[in-house]
């Protein structure tokens, strides 16, 4: 015989159906972490009337809880958008856009400097799903019109490319696309939605890797797709549901927790990165600094025209007299800068890239090394780079 509770039910039933309900009216700043797969309905009629696409109510954990709805609303606000859908990573957000807007027989245009896995995904869509892909020069601007075909449905842009840092002419690409009824999706991760007002420049779909600045802790993978047009949002929701791209509410909470400091952190990354980029620009070891705010960066004039700030991520090309073994020694000799992918956290990172292997049309000489400037004191980071130059 199972032990009974005071209400004369078995202990298991008593624990599962506990009658205690916490009092209403709790007030605090954090958004509650609402975990759920099952969401409860008052009665059958309410269940039948529910619509999972309607974010004024709840239907199932996959479609969100108050925690994820709140993050979506705040991200839409940052980008001056209206709708937002969360995904389990930035790459899943890219996949969601492709799945929502492309089908067998369609054509998609992707910048040649796109985030690597975006290219890899496009290759897979092309080999296995009958979607034609062309890569375009990120500096193409309005000449992209000549690449648009009858079956082109989507143009990706990245502002700027996150390794070689070219800044595209987003308004020109959008104008050419819209003249032919083609959608433009922008990977806006570098600017965190703070330094580039992408919808104002004509973009239809904004993708963010929240893994970077929004999380800010190097501890969460998450992505978002933000739109203004409800019809576009509905297509994204359908694909999101069919792919089952749910997010964990503990992770959503971590992003929500760091969101209030997003702009302050971003501005601090920007200030420090620009100081270091300018210092590197005067160094004999460096051939070229690829930071959009510096004149040597392709697309610098467009950055000046369209952006109100810069991220903490930039690259350099070493002078061609340095071999890869030497630049590897430079990276290995850094003490504060750690070696690792991703960016946007408090810790500075450094990664060498074999850019000549990534890009068919790469003309520049010199080894490319990418820096993510964290939130350490700028002088200490410069001292660290200086000693690594000496060790090289
Ligand atoms: C990191 C990154 C992504 C992908 O984000 P994940 O969360 O790591 O999948 C996409 N685009 C850019 C520009 C990125 O830097």
Whole-number percent of the chain with pLDDT over 70: 99
Q: Decide if pLDDT at 358 tops 90.
A: no
User: pLDDT tens digit string along 90-139?
Assistant: 999 999 999 999 999 999 999 999 999 999 999 999 999 999 999 999 99
Strands 183-187, 152-158: pairing kind: parallel
**What residue ranges define each of the domains in the chain, with the CATH number in brackets?**
82-260 (3.40.640.10), 262-391 (3.90.1150.10)
Could you identify the residue written with the tokens 């020069």? 137
User: pLDDT tens digit string along 62-93?
Assistant: 999 999 999 999 999 999 999 999 999 999 99
Secondary-structure percent of the chain, ordered helix, strand, coil, rounded to 5: 40, 15, 45
For ligand 1, pick from 92, 117, 221 the residue to mutate: most ligand atoms within 8 Å of CB.
Answer: 117
Nearest C-alpha to atom 2 of ligand 1 is from which residue? 209
User: pLDDT tens digit string along 176-222?
Assistant: 999 999 999 999 999 999 999 999 999 999 999 999 999 999 999 99
* Ligand 1 close to Cβ of residue 218 (< 6 A): no
Cβ within 8 Å of residue 194, ≥6 positions away:
78, 262, 263, 266, 308, 309
* Ligand 1 close to Cβ of residue 115 (< 6 A): yes
Q: Count H helices and E strands in the chain, helices first.
A: 13, 11
Distance from residue 68's CA to the centre of ligand 1 (Å): 20
- Measured from the CA of 89, which atom of ligand 1 is nearest? 7
Burial of 132 (0-12, 13-18, 19+ CB in 10 A): middle
Could you identify the residue written with the tokens 């297509």? 235
Per-residue buried b or exposed e for 90-115, using 16+ beta carbons within 10 Å of the residue's own CB:
bbbbbbbbbbbbbeeebbbbbbbbbb
- The Cα–Cα gap between 80 and 320 comes to 44
Distance from residue 7's CA to the centre of ligand 1 (Å): 53
For ligand 1, pick from 157, 162, 219, 269 the residue to mutate: most ligand atoms within 8 Å of CB.
Answer: 162
Instruction: Report the pLDDT value the prediction gives residue 1, as an integer from 0 to 100.
Output: 58
What is the pLDDT confidence band of residue 360, given thresholds at 50, 70 and 90? confident
């Amino acid at each position: 015989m199972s032990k009974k509770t005071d209400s004369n039910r078995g202990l298991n039933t008593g624990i599962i159906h506990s009658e205690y309900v916490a009092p209403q009216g709790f007030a605090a700043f954090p958004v509650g972490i609402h975990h759920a797969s099952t969401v409860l309905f008052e009665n059958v009629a309410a269940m039948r009337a529910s619509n999972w696409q309607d974010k004024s109510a709840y239907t199932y954990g996959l479609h969100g809880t108050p925690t994820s709805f709140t993050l979506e609303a705040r991200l839409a606000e940052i980008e001056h958008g209206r709708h937002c859908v969360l995904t389990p990573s930035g790459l899943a957000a890219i996949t969601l856009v492709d799945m929502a807007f492309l089908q067998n027989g369609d054509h998609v245009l992707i910048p040649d400097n796109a985030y690597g896995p975006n290219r890899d995904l496009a290759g897979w869509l092309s080999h296995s799903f009958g979607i034609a892909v062309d890569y375009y020069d990120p500096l193409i601007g309005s000449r992209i019109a000549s690449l648009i075909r009858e079956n082109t449905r989507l143009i990706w842009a990245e502002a700027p490319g996150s390794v070689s840092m070219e800044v595209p002419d987003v308004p020109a690409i959008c104008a050419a696309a819209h003249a032919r009824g083609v959608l433009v999706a922008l990977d806006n991760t570098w600017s965190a939605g703070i330094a580039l007002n992408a919808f104002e420049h004509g973009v239809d779909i904004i993708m963010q890797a929240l893994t970077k600045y929004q999380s800010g802790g190097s501890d969460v993978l998450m992505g978002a797709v933000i739109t203004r047009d409800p019809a576009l949002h509905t297509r994204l929701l359908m694909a999101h549901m069919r792919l089952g791209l749910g997010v964990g509410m503990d992770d959503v909470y971590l992003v929500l927790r760091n969101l209030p400091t997003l702009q302050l952190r971003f501005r601090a990354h920007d200030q420090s990165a620009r100081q270091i980029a300018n210092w590197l620009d005067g160094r004999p070891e460096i051939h070229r600094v690829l930071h959009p705010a510096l004149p040597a960066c392709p697309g610098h004039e467009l950055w000046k025209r369209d952006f109100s700030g810069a991220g903490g991520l930039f690259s350099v090309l070493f002078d061609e007299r340095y071999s890869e073994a030497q630049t590897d020694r430079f990276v290995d000799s850094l003490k504060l800068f750690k070696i690792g992918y991703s960016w946007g956290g408090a810790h500075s990172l450094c990664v060498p890239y074999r850019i000549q292997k990534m890009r068919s049309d790469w003309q520049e000489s010199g080894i490319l090394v990418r820096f993510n400037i964290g939130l350490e004191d700028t002088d200490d980071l410069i001292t660290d780079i200086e000693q690594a130059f000496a060790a090289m």
